[in-house]
Structure 1
Amino acid sequence: MDRGSNAQDPTGATRPSVPGLPAEVLRGIAQVDFMPSALCGLFFTAALFAAGWRYGLYGLLGSAVATGTAYALGLDREAVGRGLHGYNGCLVALGAAVFLGADHLGTVPVAVAGSVVSVIVTAALGAVLTAWNLSALTAPFCLVASVMTVGAPAFRRLWHGTPGLAALPAPATGATGPSWEQLWHGFFADFGQVFFMPQWYVGLLFLAGIVAADRWAGVMACAGSATALLTAWALGSPADGVGRGLLGYSGVLTAMALSGVFVVRSAWSVAYALVGAATATALTPALAALTAPFGGHAFTWPFVLTTLAFLAAVPAVSRLQRV
């Protein structure tokens, strides 16, 4: 789905016929993985509830608040209906639940406020990036979540002393590579970690939702996860981090974005997408290290930076074509 609010759906998926705000909220959740599908949103919501009922509620809350805010601000109705203003709100609310604690009442107003702000930031970045035919992607979420991460410890009514987001572990001297169990757990966890969920079975539900909406997107998501695993293994990344999906989630999103969503599907775009997935994976520990003083959380910055750079280069590559 074009994250720049164009009316055309580059994935070729038809707009679901489910009417009204509930479908738009579900599409907002599905758009985290580029899918403008209420059915995919149902799968994603089920995955969040499988991880914990509070996470399911926070995901729905974030998408609903962001969607309602976009309507209240008079933003493009077609874009809002496709979920293009809901996905960052969904991620911000989930980030608040994971980072501040889903069982603390003080987290709810933070999630709501962050979801509202994410819509404004999305509109602002969209206005700037449209000139280069680029999309804001999940940069609004990353900006809001980064501010929340840095600022929360200063507020005693919000901060409870134990960040919920897992930071990347440091490589152990003489450590062996990931086991087979860690590899296949990591393959599915990569899909779940886009939403902060490390459970492999939750990631499997997310993958099922992608496949239900668009088979090619499912293929590229799997290719991105596999490429991320291979890259992490080749670079000697900590086995525990690989098994929990902490290195591969940006690779999943990057692979999907660069072949089928923003770049026309072809053999060349597949190769381009896999190089992008490997790049995003390699960037993840670097960005986590830069944010180490604030918890070491890279969020989806590796995906955002890699995808924007690779998309900006597409017009100069004759074998590739933008959607």
Structure 2
Amino acid sequence: MNASKTSPDLSADLRAMTWRSLCHGVSQIFFQANPWTGLLILAAFAVGDLRMAILAAVGTILSTLAGCLMRVPTEGVALGMQGFNGCLVGAAVYAALGGQAWSYVLTVVGALLCAPVTVFFGWLLALPALKGFNLPSTTAPFCTVASILYAVSWDLHVAGSTKHVTDGAGDALARSFLSNVSEVVLVNSALGGLLILIGLFIASWRVGLAAVMGSAIGSLCALALGETTTTIEEGLAGYSGVLTAIALAVVFHHSSIASWCYAAVGTVITAVVTLLMNDATSFPHYTWPYILTTWVLLVVGARIPALRRT
């Protein structure tokens, strides 16, 4: 989150929590502040399961509220910058625990934890060794909180809590182009991916196109690297590449031929990192492949004249 002037009082922060800002909190998963994009992403959650959509919404609201209480800037609240990590925590809890009562308890706890964990990463990335690179915390707070919740709730896990919607017959590679997009939010559905992709094009054609590029490269790399057909089809090998492509092509660099080429390279690297993590552990690594790759490439990109940060 970019630094800005601290809000003068808590009431100003709370007034910034409108339906639009909460929808922004959902759309910021893909770096966008667009309410219609947020609503389409929520629809994609509902495709997975209505209870998943409810937990994602609860996570968004509570993490935004926690951000207000910790006095994050009003601009950040209005843009949804405190909501997206909590939204993903709600989705991750559902993916592990399903719709049982404990899912709601852990979503509340996890969403409230997102604010202080976000502050921690803001402090960490502002240390002298890293400050000059202006690295974003992005979804690192979500990954951290979700991993903790996953570990402490081990005995409560259920199998197949996320509905795997196949949407009919079709080639695994072709289906993965959409399921890569939906798996960013832990939903395995071509229809869910299509809804999200429509939302991204509504927000920005460049963002939508970057998502398509990241998904295609991610799937092709996974195939070339020998990932299983099931893993590719369900989007588990290519979802991080979607975020990497958007981040490097149009969000953290000025959109140019150089940034798009750089994003393509980053997506390939992300695919390799994903494969290594898949082979190393069965523990969910969420969006860490995207985060680690993007951090490293932002540091490297800061030394490349053709890549100018926005």
Q: TM-score, normalised by structure 1?
A: 0.85
Matched, 1:281 2:271: yes
Aligned residue number for residue 261 of structure 2: 271
Displacement after TM superposition at 1:150 (Å): 2.0
Q: Which residue of 2 aligns with 1:316?
A: 303
Q: Who is 2:30 aligned against?
A: 33
Residue equivalent to 1:112: 108
One-letter amino acid of the structure 2 residue matched with residue 105 of structure 1: A
Deviation, 1:165, is 7.1
Residues 1:56 and 2:53 aligned together: yes
- Deviation digits for residues 84-139 of structure 1 (CA, Å, limit 9, x no counterpart): 1100000011101110112x011101001101111111111113314230100111
1:302 to 286, 289, 293: 289
> Which structure 2 residues correspond to residues 9-88 of structure 1 after superposition, within 5 A?
20-88=17-85
The 2-side partners of 1:258 and 1:164 are apart by: 33
Cα 1:299–1:319, aligned 2, differ >3 Å: closer, same or farther? Answer: same
Alignment of 1:185-264 (within 5 A): 185-264=175-254
CA shift for structure 1 position 161: 4.9
Q: CA separation of 1:20/1:76 partners in 2, compared to 1, >3 Å: closer, same or farther?
A: closer
Deviation at 1:27, TM superposition (A): 0.5
Which residues in structure 2 correspond to 1:130-169 (within 5 Å)? 130=126, 131=131, 132-153=133-154, 156=155, 159-162=156-159, 164=161
TM-score normalised over the length of structure 2? 0.89
Mean Cα displacement is larger for which, 138-147 or 120-129? Answer: 120-129
Could you report, residue by residue, the CA deviation over 1:281-303 in whole angstroms, capped at 9, with x for unpaired residues?
111121133333xxx31210000
C-alpha deviation, 1:151, in angstroms: 2.1
Q: Distance in 2 between matches of 1:218 and 1:322?
A: 20
CA drift at 1:321:
1.1
CA contact (8 A) 2:36 2:199 kept: yes
Distance 1:164 1:48 in 2: 13
Q: How many angstroms does 1:184 deviate by?
A: 1.5
2-structure distance, mates of 1:99, 1:126 = 28
Does the 8 Å contact 1:165/1:297 carry over to 2?
A: no
- Deviating above 6 A after TM superposition, structure 1's stretches of 4 or more consecutive aligned residues are none
Q: Residue type matched to 2:51 in 1?
A: R
- Which letter maps to 2:250? G
Q: Secondary structure at the match of 1:321?
A: coil
Residues 188-220 of structure 1: CA distance to partner in whole angstroms, max 9, x if unpaired? 000100011011111100101111111100010
Task: Note the residue ranges of structure 2 that are not aligned, 5 or more in a row.
Answer: 5-15, 164-168
What amino acid is aligned across from residue 300 of structure 1 in structure 2?
Answer: T
Work out the number of aligned pairs and report it: 289
Conserved 8 A contact 1:193-1:246: yes
CA distance in 2, matches of 1:301, 1:160: 21
Deviations 1:269-315 (A, max 9, x none): 101001111111111121133333xxx31210000000000011112
Identify unmatched segments of 5+ residues in structure 1. Answer: 8-18, 167-178
Hey, what does 2:95 align to over in structure 1? 98
Q: Distance in 2 between matches of 1:301 and 1:114?
A: 18
Tell me the amino acid that sits aligned with residue 106 of structure 2: V
Deviations, residues 245-285 of structure 1 (Å, cap 9, x unaligned): 00110000000000110011111110100111111111112
The CA distance in 2 between the partners of 1:160 and 1:301, in whole Å, is: 21
The separation in 2 between residues aligned to 1:260 and 1:6, in whole angstroms, is 20
Task: Measure, in 2, the Cα distance between the counterparts of 1:87 and 1:160.
Answer: 23
The RMSD of aligned alpha carbons is 1.8
